[in-house]
Amino acid sequence: MNRGTRVGFSFLALLLIGVVLVLIFPAAAKFAEATARELRYLWWLILLVALAGWLVWGTSRRPK
């Protein structure tokens, strides 16, 4: 499995987990929608997405 395939599977898994969480926790989906509407709270949502991306891809790297 090459790097591109692994990145594709990681992205697909992250997307699938997000969809499942939205279906399980509809209140979180309403929160995300309300947050996206209010510009002053949007940076919290961006920060949470960035943290999730760092946890998925940043912590899986092997130390040098």
**HEC profile for the chain?**
CCHHHHHHHHHHHHHHHHHHHHHHCHHHHHHHHHHHHCHHHHHHHHHHHHHHHHHHHHCCCCCC
Say what the pLDDT of residue 39 is.
Answer: 61
pLDDT tens for the chain, 64 residues: list them.
788 888 889 989 999 988 888 888 888 788 777 777 776 667 777 888 889 888 888 776 666 6
Rounded to a whole number of angstroms, the distance between the first and last alpha carbons of the chain is 22
Distance CA 4, CA 18 (A): 21
Say what the pLDDT of residue 31 is.
Answer: 79
